[in-house]
A and B are shown apart, each in its own frame.
Chain A
Amino acid sequence: MFLVMAVVLVIRPWGFLGKPIQTGVTTIGEATRPWRPWSSATSIAVAAAILVAALLPVVLGSYGLSVGAQILIAVVFAMSLQFQMSTGGLDSFGHAAYFGLGAYGAAMTVEWFDLPMEAAILVGPLTGLLGALIFGWFCVRLSGVYFAMLTLAFAQITWSIAFQWVDVTGGDNGILGVWPSDWAASPANFYWLTLAVAVVAVLALRHLVFSPFGYRLRAVRDSTVRAEAVGISRQRTQYVAFAISGTAAGLAGALFAFLKGSIFPDVLAIPTSIDALVMVLLGGVATVSGSVVGAIVYTMASIWLMSATDLSRLVLGGFIVFLVVAFPQGIVGSLSAFVSGPFERWRTRGRAERTVALPAEGSR
């Protein structure tokens, strides 16, 4: 069924009877405040947070550390989607595909080729990249809701392959026995490994947002017509962004396989894609890396609720509804608006507000 959906979207995205409509690239992630790299104060705060995170193995037991690793993996996964959604304006409903491809890529490297974890962690992002290159080639031809639907269709196709190709993927039984190398086997070491990967991945994606490539990507998101008229190719730029995002998601998936020691088709299923979307929304779509906070809050809430109540999904759903209503710009989006408002006023104090450069009061 999803195969039919994919074919229709590729060949006639506007439906069998419909006509192509011009979808201007407008997304919920549209930022109105210009993004800035971290100020030195923020950088220090981030460094401090990383330091605290690195010291957690001193106080946490093995359960706490495995939860910590899971949160860090969610951070990488959410950030990969945020790069695509917030910076690229490409709302993906099927980001699980690349996470799952990375997980399966890593698990199969161990299972079929008997290679160690180090190799598998390199293969994971590459399978994510490969998937993104193949699916993205079709997806970036579309925009808006058609794009989103096609990503969903591809994710479902990937899921059904993992589910049904029992000989290779183990089908419903998944792939078991995907354990880290000896040096990373202890919870603390594996936690530090995921922390290192997460810090590098988040910083690298943030750097990309402020690189010339990131400017091109944001330009295409803001105004495709203008971008094309100044020599920026929408398709090429978005294709590269899609591939980068898929690679990062694959990296998260590979780590996830080693954290759990096994992998099942449900990493490719719709709930995984939704989790990523919720993390980005919680953090703030209009932010560069708010999803880091979104991922931490969401993962902690879902794990805690799972043990605290029988109705964890219901309570979590209600919690998300509350957060989205209370903080429509996401946690980080709302916080930074709250902090930067007074700060901006202080910064521009005494400076006369000039909105119009030329005298506009003249008349004929």
Chain B
Amino acid sequence: MSAAPLLEVEHLSKSYGGVHAVQDVSFSLVPGEMLAMIGPNGAGKSTCFNMVGGQIPAGSGRVRIDGRDVSGLSPRQIWRLGVGRTFQVAQVFKSMTVRENVQSVFASRESGWGFFARAGSAHRAEAEAVLGLIGMADFADRPCADMAYGDVKRLELAMALANDPKLLLMDEPAAGMAPLERVELMGLTARIAKERQIGVLFTEHDMDVVFAHADRMMVLNRGQLIAEGKPEDVRQDPQVRAVYLGEGLVYDQAAAARRANA
């Protein structure tokens, strides 16, 4: 790794009551890198994401973005540092049109009250440029409420990109999308990330997507990081295979029992 890390996570932990949702997780991410975080449901992926994005406060440990400690910062302060994020369940402004959604993001960037301008015409070109980037220019005037879920997910990506971020946090970006759509969305994300040198941290359940686009991946199980490295290495890791394919204990026991009976 030659470049200075964009995101550094050190000994991050979080407990809910007695449950250790995330335990002592450390990793880092350089600009332009696609880092996948995988793991079974309940492994702590979303908790990790929300701690990095500021949605929930970190229990202990440290998160640094571009060398700056972001502990205790609110999501909007973290956004101002150049972090875009998408959510597991897409969060968009569904009473607005597609273009207005992106325009709202630009409206938030302005200082001042914003009482006097007409927002409908402000940042119109910029919003359309962002929509064009993800291939949604034709959809600009459509009400968000009419959109298919896959397109809502893409709109969310457009909103995250509107801030010209250095870091993208994508929590299951392709969940709920049709298979081909997923592949295209992640291909698009990977291309934009490479072009603009955006670091992308994403979680995904679709292993095809992960192996196709991740530069590096890490595996979380029960809050702990159990493997990290190149996708092909992680794939061979016995611990990871055990988590994903099961350790075969039940099967082995049943087989043993059958043998004993025979």
A222 near B96: Cβ-Cβ < 8 Å: yes
With beta carbons under 8 angstroms apart, the residue of B93, B117, B163, B208 that contacts A223 is B93
Say yes or no: is B31 at the interface (Cβ < 8 Å to chain A).
no
Known: A225-B87, A358-B180. A215 touches B100 (CB 8 A): yes
The complex places the Cα of A145 from the Cα of B32 at a distance, in Å, of 45
Say yes or no: is A359 at the interface (Cβ < 8 Å to chain B).
yes
Q: State how many residues of chain A have any CB contact under 8 Å with chain B.
A: 41
B95 near A231: Cβ-Cβ < 8 Å: no
Q: Across the two chains, which residue of chain A brings its CB closest to B103?
A: A215
The complex places the Cα of A208 from the Cα of B139 at a distance, in Å, of 26
Known: A216-B104, A356-B150, A357-B135. A230 touches B79 (CB 8 A): yes
Minimum CB–CB distance from B194 to chain A (whole Å) comes to: 20
Q: Across the two chains, which residue of chain B brings its CB closest to A29?
A: B95
A212 near B107: Cβ-Cβ < 8 Å: yes
Residues of B near A359 (CB, < 8 A) are 180
The complex places the Cα of A210 from the Cα of B104 at a distance, in Å, of 11
With beta carbons under 8 angstroms apart, the residue of A221, A232, A357, A361 that contacts B76 is A232
Q: Across the two chains, which residue of chain B brings its CB closest to A224?
A: B91
A231 near B80: Cβ-Cβ < 8 Å: yes
Residues of B near A34 (CB, < 8 A) are 95-97, 100, 143-144
B178 near A362: Cβ-Cβ < 8 Å: yes
Q: Which of A187-217 contact B (CB under 8 A)?
A: 208, 210-216
Q: Across the two chains, which residue of chain B brings its CB closest to A226?
A: B91
Say yes or no: is B136 at the interface (Cβ < 8 Å to chain A).
yes
Of B79, B91, B135, B139, most A-chain CB atoms within 10 Å: B91
Minimum CB–CB distance from A120 to chain B (whole Å) comes to: 25
Residues of A near B110 (CB, < 8 A) are 212
B76 near A32: Cβ-Cβ < 8 Å: no
A-B pairs under 8 A by CB, number: 151
With beta carbons under 8 angstroms apart, the residue of B74, B119, B136, B179 that contacts A211 is B119
Known: A231-B163, A355-B148, A358-B181. A32 touches B143 (CB 8 A): yes
Q: Across the two chains, which residue of chain A brings its CB closest to B109?
A: A231
Say yes or no: is B16 at the interface (Cβ < 8 Å to chain A).
no
Q: Which of B91-127 contact A (CB under 8 A)?
A: 91-97, 100, 103-105, 107-110, 113-120, 122
Residues of B near A210 (CB, < 8 A) are 118-120
With beta carbons under 8 angstroms apart, the residue of B55, B96, B181 that contacts A225 is B55
Known: A34-B97, A210-B119, A358-B180. A230 touches B105 (CB 8 A): yes
Say yes or no: is B53 at the interface (Cβ < 8 Å to chain A).
yes
The complex places the Cα of A240 from the Cα of B97 at a distance, in Å, of 24
Minimum CB–CB distance from B153 to chain A (whole Å) comes to: 11
Known: A357-B135, A362-B180. A227 touches B146 (CB 8 A): no
Minimum CB–CB distance from A44 to chain B (whole Å) comes to: 19
Say yes or no: is B85 at the interface (Cβ < 8 Å to chain A).
yes
Interface range for B: 35 or more
The complex places the Cα of A33 from the Cα of B110 at a distance, in Å, of 26
Residues of A near B243 (CB, < 8 A) are none
Q: Across the two chains, which residue of chain A brings its CB closest to B169?
A: A229
The complex places the Cα of A213 from the Cα of B79 at a distance, in Å, of 19
Say yes or no: is B147 at the interface (Cβ < 8 Å to chain A).
yes
A356 near B148: Cβ-Cβ < 8 Å: yes
With beta carbons under 8 angstroms apart, the residue of A212, A233, A364 that contacts B179 is A364
Minimum CB–CB distance from B108 to chain A (whole Å) comes to: 4
Q: Across the two chains, which residue of chain A brings its CB closest to B181?
A: A358
Interface string of A33-56 (1 = CB under 8 A from B): 111010000000000000000000
Say yes or no: is B247 at the interface (Cβ < 8 Å to chain A).
no
The complex places the Cα of A364 from the Cα of B94 at a distance, in Å, of 31
Say yes or no: is A31 at the interface (Cβ < 8 Å to chain B).
yes
Q: Across the two chains, which residue of chain B brings its CB closest to A30?
A: B95
Say yes or no: is A218 at the interface (Cβ < 8 Å to chain B).
yes
A219 near B94: Cβ-Cβ < 8 Å: no
Minimum CB–CB distance from A260 to chain B (whole Å) comes to: 32
Minimum CB–CB distance from B146 to chain A (whole Å) comes to: 7
With beta carbons under 8 angstroms apart, the residue of B97, B108, B143, B148 that contacts A216 is B108
A230 near B184: Cβ-Cβ < 8 Å: no
The complex places the Cα of A208 from the Cα of B113 at a distance, in Å, of 11
Residues of A near B117 (CB, < 8 A) are 211-212
Say yes or no: is B166 at the interface (Cβ < 8 Å to chain A).
no
B120 near A37: Cβ-Cβ < 8 Å: yes
A219 near B115: Cβ-Cβ < 8 Å: no
Residues of A near B139 (CB, < 8 A) are 357
B92 near A215: Cβ-Cβ < 8 Å: no
Minimum CB–CB distance from B61 to chain A (whole Å) comes to: 21
Known: A210-B119, A228-B75. A216 touches B107 (CB 8 A): yes
With beta carbons under 8 angstroms apart, the residue of B74, B85, B108, B180 that contacts A219 is B108
Say yes or no: is B213 at the interface (Cβ < 8 Å to chain A).
no
B181 near A360: Cβ-Cβ < 8 Å: yes
Interface string of B209-228 (1 = CB under 8 A from A): 00000000000000000000
Residues of B near A215 (CB, < 8 A) are 96, 100, 103-104, 107, 114, 119
Which 10 pairs from chain A and chain B are nearest by CB?
A362-B180, A212-B114, A226-B91, A212-B107, A222-B93, A360-B178, A213-B114, A31-B95, A232-B108, A231-B108
- Can you list 27 A-B pairs with a CB-CB distance of less than 8 A? A30-B95, A211-B116, A211-B118, A212-B107, A215-B96, A215-B104, A216-B107, A216-B108, A218-B93, A218-B96, A219-B96, A223-B93, A225-B55, A225-B91, A226-B91, A226-B92, A226-B93, A228-B75, A229-B85, A229-B91, A230-B159, A232-B108, A233-B76, A355-B146, A357-B135, A360-B150, A362-B180
Q: A residues engaging B (CB < 8 A)?
A: 30-35, 37, 208, 210-216, 218-219, 221-223, 225-233, 240, 354-364
